[in-house]
């Protein structure tokens, strides 16, 4: 039986036999104690000046600040060269790898640009006020430096398989890099820890959560509570799993072909829509910008004063662009290049697109339309608040916004299927059988996500995804001198003309 037919058969058998009421209660009861322990550790909060700050945010932002200074603010200086690389100026035919720079970026962006950009920002503003937007932007800019380091390391230590396919990401650069630094006793365990966490975590945050949110958006589009599909999550999940299965069965090249078309479309659609709303409400823009900057440094601002809103902004940015998590390096490592640093430049664009552009536009839409300092007490948060903001100016925009949110969820599923797959094959070895087994189970979990309310499982996977930041950033600290040496060599060869701009040569 062909793999894609096997996927269809298995997820239909499982999804149609689900009894949601019994399954979710039983699984939640088993997983909840483990979730509580893991979450209490990874999301442990330190109190600084009477303001709680999660451990993971300190770790992620601390790493971002370090790499920003260590690479001499490359996150701000590298835009021009990043665009040149994306345009293909330095692409040499025949380079080892599977994806172009643009395809690698599209695949990685599809994994980070999601419902969190629409809903998460709204929650932050409703709790922390306009000032949180300023710190969100700052954290996004800082995160570009971490993403640069991850992508360089991902290409430097990637594995080229006999069939020419690429395997890369934190598990590979943790193992190879730590071996190189004479830390062999720590190398394989850290790689295995990362791989196992990404496999288990992807089934929740990158799968069930996304399919559940996609189903909710689909219900809204098709009539809300009166929709024919309101009690047919198994059917929607099965169809979605089938579509995903048809894409992922072709591997990273197939995923990239879809995301390289989907990501620009949904991103540009959302950006244009946001800009239209902001333009129509242009008279409110000066106030919005003033509020963002003023309240960012206002000791009497909402949610614990200046430090409180700083933490809120940093936390939303860190959770949005995943800089420090290392997941995007798995996709970036497949790029067609012999220069690891080139993909680092491309990778630093990811937090800029995800956080600095999309999250900021979402914030401005809310601030120029429906924002009220008392909204935190009115129960309107998340995607409902963003939808209200758009519809207050463009009454017809709610359905298109919901459709874009559905596409965000779908594209995230595609990317995370590959991240989980590479973690899986790192653990048990590269083979077509191993890959197909994972793809089948991944598609089954898509259907499950639409039919049960596994809150404990989703919380567990959320904690697993963020706990991998601990070994990932630690490994990047160890590899920082190697990455910087590679960067300096690249810049020197770029300035001397040794690295050629093929567009200029052809002109």
Cα distance between residue 297 and residue 310, in whole Å: 9
The reported pLDDT for the residue numbered 442 is: 94
pLDDT-derived band of residue 17, with 50, 70 and 90 as boundaries? very low
Q: Which of 265, 270, 290, 260 is nearest to 357 (CA)?
A: 270
CA proximity to 334, closest of 266, 259, 283, 409: 259
Which pLDDT does position 240 carry in this prediction? 93
Among 158-167, 212-221, 436-445, 446-455, the minimum mean pLDDT is found in: 446-455
pLDDT band (50, 70, 90) for residue 393: confident
Nearest 10 degrees: CA dihedral of 216, 217, 219, 223? 140
pLDDT value of residue 450: 82
Q: Is the pLDDT of residue 41 over 90?
A: no
How confident is the model at residue 359, as a pLDDT? 86
Q: Count CA atoms closer than 13 A to 363's CA, side-chain side.
A: 29
The DSSP-derived string for 66-96 is: HHHHHTTSHHHH-HHHHHHHHHTTTPPTT-S
Phi, psi of 94 (to 5 degrees): 90, 0
Residue 183 has pLDDT above 60, yes or no: yes
Lowest mean pLDDT among 84-88, 249-253, 285-289, 377-381: 377-381
pLDDT at 377: 43
**What percent of the chain is predicted at pLDDT more than 90?**
33
Q: Which two tokens stand for residue 372?
A: 């009220």
**pLDDT greater at residue 72 or residue 314:** 72
Identify the residue with better confidence: 12 or 165.
165
Dihedral over Cα of 113, 115, 118, 121: its sign: negative
- The rounded Cα 69 to chain-centroid distance in angstroms is 24
pLDDT for res 13: 46
Domain ranges in the chain are 3-506
Please check the confidence at residue 19 and state whether its pLDDT lies above 50: no
Which residue is listed with tokens 């916004």?
A: 401
Q: At what angle do helices 101-112 and 79-87 cross, to 10 degrees?
A: 110
Query: Which segment of 259-273, 290-304, 412-426 scores lowest on mean pLDDT?
Result: 290-304
For the chain, give the mean pLDDT. Answer: 83
> How far is it, in rounded angstroms, from Cα 122 to Cα 10?
38
pLDDT of residue 11: 47
Query: pLDDT at position 18, please?
Result: 46
pLDDT tens digits, residue range 466-475?
Answer: 888 889 999 9
49: three-class secondary structure by DSSP: coil
Q: Alpha-carbon distance 82 to 101, whole Å?
A: 10
Instruction: Quote the pLDDT of residue 340.
Output: 93
Q: Which CATH fold would you assign to the domain 3-506?
A: Amino acid/polyamine transporter I (1.20.1740)
Q: How far is CA 460 from CA 26, 43, 52, 200, 332, in A?
A: 15, 12, 22, 9, 26
Q: Are strands 159-160 and 45-48 parallel, antiparallel or unpaired?
A: unpaired
Average pLDDT score over residue span 27-50: 72
Question: What's this model's pTM, rounded to 2 decimal places?
Answer: 0.87
User: Quick check: helix, strand or coil at residue 113?
Assistant: coil
| Structural contact between residues 249 and 455, judged by C-beta atoms closer than 8 angstroms | no
Q: Is it the case that residue 66 has pLDDT exceeding 90?
A: yes
Mean pLDDT, range 41-56, rounded to an integer: 74
pLDDT of residue 346: 93
Helix residue spans in 249-359 (DSSP H): 251-280, 285-296, 305-321, 327-332, 340-347, 349-351
CA 358 → CA 216, 282, 370, 401, distances in Å?
22, 18, 18, 14
Q: How far apart are the first and last CA of the chain?
A: 51
CA nearest 121: which of 353, 289, 295, 367?
367
CB 201 within 8 A of CB 457: no
């Amino acid at each position: 039986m062909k793999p894609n037919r096997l996927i269809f058969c298995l997820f239909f058998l499982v999804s149609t036999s689900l009894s949601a009421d019994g399954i979710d209660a039983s699984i939640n009861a088993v997983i909840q104690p483990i979730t509580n322990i893991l979450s209490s550790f990874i999301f442990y909060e330190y109190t600084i000046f009477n303001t709680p700050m999660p451990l993971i945010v300190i770790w992620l932002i601390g790493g971002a600040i370090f790499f920003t200074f260590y690479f001499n603010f490359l996150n701000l200086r590298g835009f021009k060269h990043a665009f040149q690389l994306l345009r293909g100026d330095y692409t040499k035919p025949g380079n080892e790898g599977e994806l172009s720079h643009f395809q690698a970026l599209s695949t990685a962006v599809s994994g980070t640009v999601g419902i969190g950009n629409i809903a998460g920002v709204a929650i932050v503003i409703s709790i922390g006020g306009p000032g949180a937007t300023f710190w969100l932007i700052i954290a996004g800019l800082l995160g570009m430096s971490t993403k640069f380091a991850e992508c360089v390391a991902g290409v430097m230590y990637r594995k080229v398989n006999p069939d020419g396919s690429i395997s890369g990401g934190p598990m590979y650069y943790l193992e190879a890099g730590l071996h190189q630094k004479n830390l062999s006793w720590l190398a394989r365990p850290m790689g295995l820890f990362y791989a196992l966490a990404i496999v288990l975590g992807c089934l929740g945050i990158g799968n069930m959560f996304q399919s559940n949110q996609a189903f909710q958006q689909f219900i809204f589009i098709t009539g809300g509570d009166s929709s024919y599909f309101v009690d047919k999550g198994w059917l929607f999940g099965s169809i979605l799993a089938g579509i995903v299965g048809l894409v992922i069965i072709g591997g990273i090249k197939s995923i990239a072909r879809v995301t390289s078309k989907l990501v620009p479309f949904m991103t540009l659609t959302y950006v244009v829509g946001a800009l239209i709303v902001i333009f129509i409400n242009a008279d409110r823009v000066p106030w919005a910008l003033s509020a963002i900057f003023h309240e960012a440094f206002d000791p009497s601002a909402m949610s614990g004063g200046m430090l409180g809103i700083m933490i809120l902004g940093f936390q939303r940015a860190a959770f949005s662009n995943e800089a420090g998590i290392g997941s995007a390096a798995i996709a970036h490592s497949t790029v067609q290049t012999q220069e690891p640093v080139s993909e680092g430049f491309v990778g630093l664009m990811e937090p800029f697109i995800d956080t600095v552009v999309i999250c900021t536009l979402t914030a401005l839409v809310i601030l120029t339309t429906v924002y009220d300092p008392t909204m935190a007490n009115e129960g309107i948060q998340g995607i409902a608040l963003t939808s209200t903001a758009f519809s207050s100016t463009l009454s017809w925009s709610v359905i298109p916004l919901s459709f874009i949110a559905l596409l965000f969820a779908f594209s995230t599923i595609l990317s995370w299927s590959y991240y989980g797959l590479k973690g899986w094959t790192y653990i048990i070895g590269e083979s077509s059988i191993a890959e197909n087994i994972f793809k089948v189970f991944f598609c089954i979990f898509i259907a499950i996500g639409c039919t049960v309310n596994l809150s404990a499982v989703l919380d567990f996977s959320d904690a697993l995804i963020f706990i991998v930041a601990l070994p990932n950033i630690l490994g990047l600290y160890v590899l920082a001198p190697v990455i910087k040496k590679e960067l300096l060599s690249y810049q020197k060869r770029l300035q001397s003309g040794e690295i050629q701009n093929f567009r200029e040569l052809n002109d």
